[in-house]
Amino acid sequence: MRETDLIRVYGIVQGVGFRPFTDRLARRFSLCGSVANKGSYVEIHLQGDSAARREFLIALEKEAPPRSAILRVDVTPVQEPEFDSFRIIESEKECGAIFVSPDIATCPLCKQELFDPANRRYLHPFINCTACGPRLTILEAMPYDRERTTMKEFPMCPECAGEYTSSESRRYDAQPVCCNDCGPELYLVGREERGTEALRVAKESILNGKIIAVKGIGGFHLCCNAFDKEAVMRLRSLKRRPVKPFALMMKDLATIEKHCVISEHLTGLLDGHQKPIILLEKKAQSLLPEELAPGNPKLGCMLPYTPLHLLLFHGEDMPEALVMTSGNVSGAPICRSDEDAVAEISSFCDLILSHSRKILLRADDSVMDTFRGEPYMIRRSRGYAPLPKMLSGNWKGQVLGIGGELKNTFCLGHDSLFYPSPYLGDMEDLRTVNALQESVVRMESLLEIKLQLIACDLHPLYHTTEVAESLGIPLIKIQHHYAHILSCMAENDFSEPVIGVSFDGTGYGSDGTIWGGEILYSSLDGFERVGKISPFLQAGGDASAKEGWRIAVPMIQELFPEHAAEIVEKLNLCTEQERKVLSVMAARRLNTVVSTSSGRLFDAVSAILGICSRSSFEGEAAMKLQFFAESAGTVSVGNLPAPEMQDEVLTMRTDLLVKELIERRLSGESTGILARIFHEKLALMIVETCRILRKRLECNICALSGGVFQNTLLLESVMSRLEQDGFRVLRHHLIPPNDGGIALGQAVAAMKKLNS
């Protein structure tokens, strides 16, 4: 008997050339053993030099085939009879989990063929292979076969069929395989032009400063020349989107490098098989107009990920950067059919370039920031959904977390696998509600899930709650900020109790007030509210989410009852009339609720510091506050008010912090420095509160979640101090800290409920 590593690799490892890859790798490291396909995982037995085995494991994850996605690798030492070589064992299928591949960006080989005049797919806008092309978005049902995709409408020509069935070919078993003879076709909606002529007219329109809609993999984009200031401004006014940044698609990596700062480790991600939008610092010498992302030091950049995108950049006169913003009405889901596009976005554009391959499931572009040099997800969608998160433990059951009201995604759970959906949008828009209903049904059937329990938000008026109730399955309601913490725990595969710091916009609290600056001692079974920020009055319902002055003015009223009018005037927050209306509302509690939302606290401070008092999109004021703080550099913070017990909850004295900021602002201190002081002091207050709670709860683990932690300045400030203090800190990586992530937390809560 010999010492052997028994390795199990979970994830998308079937039909992606994983076993031959393993075989090559074992030979490279002179190791013996075997590899077998077990249906839901790949099993490897490995014998040989222990250093070589370690290197094998590193290379296994690092060099895995491009189409594969490894979720987990378990290694167990066992004793096995001696192997004399490395062998591939034929499949002994066991039933198990289902893995649906996300869509995959065009691979380098297909890109090469696309521009090779001698290739029979020269300039074919739908070229793809076993390693690339649409997957999730064209799939009707499992198993993944051509007749169950929207490619069934395009019978393969003999040559394509030959490649499809030959195990020697790059297109063996590639379901969307097609060519100029047998594939889908480009056309202009409502016009005569088709094929290359349609493409030519679309490109000419871009050059002439027009805005066009382009159908991609997971939906339509609105597109124009990024260097054309007038076109950009026109798109802003048509889309009623005055300042929210537009995403850019750049011709190639060299172009991104010309305009933005990219560290080396990001190039692999930018140019990899997922091709997300990454927020990158814009270089000072870039000629891209400020209008693309006004007041924002970063640009959201991605590389072309479909052959059609590559063709749009093809030709010497084409611009090297295009605006590529989601083709939708703000808040509504991305358009996926010609009918959607004509009804919803045709007034935003001059031309619609579409094609005849149907999209079944929407997938917006994924968006990520970076934190400590690693990706930090903001919107998890195309390329990532529905890659599951795998949890340890022996979970059994089938559940749905339906998600929140803003930035909705949902999450299906089957035993220990949790599948987050692509991004849908904001539920205020009825179209998003319909899309949610439809997508839940589609994903349920794809993943062969029969729901036993659903989890939704506690908020009685959320549309998601309504949809959940309509499904006729038992339902549990999960507090919003607790769901954030559960999602962070799940992302880190952590199941012990944590001190959960949930800093977020607004959510419905267990006591009927608005929460959002909470510290929740959380386990998989439930939570206790152990910390909060100082409560304030939030008047004016939904309007206050975009107008920080509406939060700031009642705060000033409370902090400086004698001088409120004078201060509000000096800070130029609103008219005297508006102030009076607000103070009457607050005094009589008309349309006014008690709130501990840290998102709204950021809005209020942004207004008080004169940075942003009225936002055009959720998060604008807080983002600008962060940029001001970042520009200020380090500051000395001074003393800190200690947290105190209020209503049996440890309360961070953010009211005193606001008071200090107002006083210092009135005495003329600089906006940037005060913005920085706000960030630093808030971080210190969080850390101090966690320290007190650590003693009381005997818990040394903090989990940081909620939309406010999209603010990487605050995140770094809190995290580094907690770490210095000996805390173990859990944070988000590839699940968004914002409301796009709560569905995972809800699904985990439902799974826990089923299993207890």
For Zn ion, the binding residues (CB under 5 A) are 107, 110, 129, 131-132, 157, 160, 179, 181-182
Measured from the CB of residue 310, what is the shortest distance to Zn ion in angstroms? 12
Measured from the CB of residue 250, what is the shortest distance to Zn ion in angstroms? 21
Looking only at the bridges linking them, the beta strands covering 69-80 and 2-12 are: antiparallel
Judge contact between 503 and 715, C-beta under 8 A: no
Judge contact between 600 and 542, C-beta under 8 A: no
DSSP notation for 472-518: -S-EEEE-HHHHHHHHHHHHTT--S-EEEEEEEEEEE-TTSSEEEEE
Measured from the CB of residue 262, what is the shortest distance to Zn ion in angstroms? 24
Measured from the CB of residue 132, what is the shortest distance to Zn ion in angstroms? 3
Measured from the CB of residue 104, what is the shortest distance to Zn ion in angstroms? 8
Measured from the CB of residue 216, what is the shortest distance to Zn ion in angstroms? 16
Measured from the CB of residue 105, what is the shortest distance to Zn ion in angstroms? 9
Place of tokens 């700062």: 261
Closer residue to Zn ion in complex, CB, 104/279: 104
User: How far apart are the C-alpha atoms of 78 and 1, rounded to whole Å?
Assistant: 9
User: How far apart are the C-alpha atoms of 236 and 325, rounded to whole Å?
Assistant: 11
Closer residue to Zn ion in complex, CB, 151/202: 151
User: How far apart are the C-alpha atoms of 297 and 408, rounded to whole Å?
Assistant: 27
Backbone phi and psi for residue 245, each to the nearest 5 degrees, phi listed first? -55, 145
Closer residue to Zn ion in complex, CB, 158/268: 158
End-to-end CA gap in the chain: 41
Helix/strand/coil for 325: strand
3-state SS string for 687-725: HHHHHHHHHHHCCCEEEEECHHHHCHHHHHHHHHHHHHC
Measured from the CB of residue 146, what is the shortest distance to Zn ion in angstroms? 12
Amino acid at 587: A
Closer residue to Zn ion in complex, CB, 162/460: 162
Judge contact between 744 and 493, C-beta under 8 A: no
Backbone phi and psi for residue 275, each to the nearest 5 degrees, phi listed first? 45, 65
Per DSSP, helices labelled H in 68-220 are 108-114, 158-165, 195-207
Measured from the CB of residue 178, what is the shortest distance to Zn ion in angstroms? 5
Measured from the CB of residue 306, what is the shortest distance to Zn ion in angstroms? 11
Closer residue to Zn ion in complex, CB, 180/337: 180
Closer residue to Zn ion in complex, CB, 306/615: 306
Judge contact between 705 and 741, C-beta under 8 A: yes
Strands of the 298-302 sheet, one edge to the other: 186-188, 351-355, 212-215, 220-225, 321-326, 248-250, 298-302, 277-281, 367-371, 374-379
Place of tokens 């401070």: 605
Write the DSSP symbol of residue 250.
Answer: E
Closer residue to Zn ion in complex, CB, 126/727: 126
Closer residue to Zn ion in complex, CB, 81/117: 117
Closer residue to Zn ion in complex, CB, 170/546: 170
Closer residue to Zn ion in complex, CB, 160/520: 160
Measured from the CB of residue 127, what is the shortest distance to Zn ion in angstroms? 7
Tokens found for residue 626: 């962060």
Is residue 388 reached through a cis peptide bond, with omega within 30 degrees of 0 on the bond before it? no
Closer residue to Zn ion in complex, CB, 151/160: 160
Measured from the CB of residue 672, what is the shortest distance to Zn ion in angstroms? 48
Closer residue to Zn ion in complex, CB, 110/310: 110
* CA dihedral for 330, 332, 337, 338, sign (positive or negative): negative
Judge contact between 251 and 316, C-beta under 8 A: no
Measured from the CB of residue 154, what is the shortest distance to Zn ion in angstroms? 8
Closer residue to Zn ion in complex, CB, 93/120: 120
